[in-house]
A and B are shown apart, each in its own frame.
Chain A
Amino acid sequence: MAPNPRKRRETLAFYLSISPWLIGFCLLTLAPMLLSLYASFTDWDLLTAPVWVGGENYRQMLDDPRFIQSLKVTAIYTLIYVPFDLVGGLILAMLVRARLRGSSVFRTIFYLPTVFSGVAFVVVWMWMLNPRAGLVNLLLAEFGINGPRWLQDPNLALLSLVLMSFWGWGRSMVIFLAGLLSIPGELYEAASIDGASAWIQFWRLTIPLLTPTIFFNLVLSVIMTFQTFTSAFVATDGGPLDSTLFLVLYIYRQAFQFFNMGYAAALAWVLFLIIMILTLLLFRSQPFWVFYLGEGNNQ
């Protein structure tokens, strides 16, 4: 194999150019993952040297009711939140996609709340859902309804977190909107000539052609729910009665409140494996329902 100097220079340039990321990947992702794998087999409080305990941390999880609870909370939240977010975002996108005067104003209004991410978002909704003086219960009272205690009710706290997330629908809306705008108008024209009603067009044309966007939003949404932390930490602190004890919140407590670094590392590895398996399953499911226009069906 005769080394081509031009090719060699290009290879060198490529590796030089990606070196910031490659070094970062090794130092800030790969090394930490390996360190955490090692830590997950130890008992480690950071003050004294780590003690090797084998698979004890992983065995301990099975007998840890709070770990089981955190898995349950995270799973239930994901199951409700993801469809809620996708359907909400799609409805908003369909509404603002219409060529109506003022559409861009509505787009802005629906997207605006997403800038309130972080603590401010949560704090606003804690106040909106305040049982005594929050806007939601005050309005319900106007209709003679005695509003529930929302975030303070063990049966409603998790659902409240899902409900308030509608305020962030703007994020999936803009992604759906881009997807809707990329569907060629000629396809609708052809369907119209064939006499398909708007309803049929939506289900037979819009939805199938939107499946790549739905897929993208689905993956994004699932990954996001698995890292839910701020709302649980700020609004409910995992309560009441552990009803909003998310997995990440539990990892945070084990690591930074109890300094059980070994156990926390094991929990983080479980979180990693769950996300890996879920995204893998989602990607594997693609050929069955995701349709890429004009590219056959390869991903």
Chain B
Amino acid sequence: MNQETAYEPEIFRLRGWRKWLRYTLLVILSVIFLAPVFWMISSSLKPEYQIFAIPPIWLPDPPRWANYQEALTSLPFGRFAINTLIIALGTVIGHLISCSIVAYGFARLQAPGKDFLFILLLSTLMLPYPVTMVPLYIIFSNLGWVNSFSPLIVPAFFGNAFYIFLLRQAFKQIPTELEDAAHMDGANFLQILRYVILPISTPALATVAIFSFQAAWNDFLAPLIFLHDQSKYTLQLGLSFFRGSYTVNWAYIMATSLVITLPVIVIFFLFQKAFIEGIGFTGTKL
């Protein structure tokens, strides 16, 4: 899909002053996009008196590394990190298992009612979480699940429309010859999925894993509703709670924001292609 076409259109092929104009624009925009990151890092290293100093101090002098240690120990952020990791990993495992099984059915198996069910699946994409959060809270509180990780992890084992759609598109591109051979040998669909489809679908599975991890890691509304004890908090809840206490200095908040985003930044740089192409891939057709 992403291979550059043989003829490179003139509006994308630039020479002379047009090229330099384009570069100038790109550089200016990059500076604007990176400015918040610069300001975060710079602020996170300032001693408290330099934060509101007039005239402003652009770079901390000297950088105060102790901010990081003080910020991260002022609330049990280690505990929050473990909680977040449990939820995020549970969610990823749940999505990978359930979505690949469901996607296989939609990609390969024929049955009456399939078209209707596929449209139903796609229409749930338009159903945002806030619409069901009130009744889900009622249901989960009757199950005694409030203040536990279950309301955040268990639903992942029942699939997710977006990831099912993404995997179905990927499975559909695999030639059927391999499966036909497995069929002849009497393999059932779970075996075909496990031994034929999944091993050659790792890029799509990685994309789903990354999206699912990032979404769970950054989720705020669901943890806010379901987790009440501070010992159960996720990093996002911890940061929000931290921000809400007025005595906290901004250097600490910036340090915390950076640290809790770091895992996603690292994953982003490791799997950049999956990120950028994966999301683009979904947009080619609705």
Contacts and interface: CB of A to CB of B under 8 A. Distances in A.
Interface of A: 7, 10-11, 13-18, 20-25, 27-29, 31-33, 35-36, 39, 46, 92, 95-100, 102, 106-113, 115-120, 123-128, 130, 132-133, 135, 138, 141, 167, 171, 174-179, 181-182, 184-186, 188-189, 192, 198, 201-202, 206, 212-213, 215-217, 219, 223, 226-227, 229-230, 233-234, 248, 251-252, 255-256, 261, 264-265, 268-269, 271-272, 275-276, 279
B1 to A, nearest CB: 6
B105 A175 contact: no
B126 A230 contact: no
A98 B214 CA distance: 29
Contacts of B218: 117-120
B175 to A, nearest CB: 19
Contacts of A255: 133-134, 137
Q: In the complex, which range does the number of interface residues on chain B fall in?
A: 35 or more
Q: What is the interface of chain B mostly: helix, strand, loop, or mixed?
A: helix
A264 B285 CA distance: 35
B36 A110 contact: no
Contacts of A188: 7, 9-11
Given A178-B284, A185-B7, A255-B134, A92 B29 contact: yes
13 contacts: A13-B109, A20-B158, A24-B98, A25-B121, A39-B135, A39-B138, A99-B4, A99-B14, A112-B33, A128-B35, A178-B2, A248-B221, A255-B137
Contacts of B236: 118-120
Q: What is the interface of chain A mostly: helix, strand, loop, or mixed?
A: helix
A29 B279 contact: no
A257 to B, nearest CB: 11
B272 A212 contact: no
Contact of A32 (B104, B135, B141): B135
B129 interface: yes
Interface in B107-122: 109-112, 114, 117, 120-121
Contacts of A36: 132, 134-135
A99 B13 contact: yes
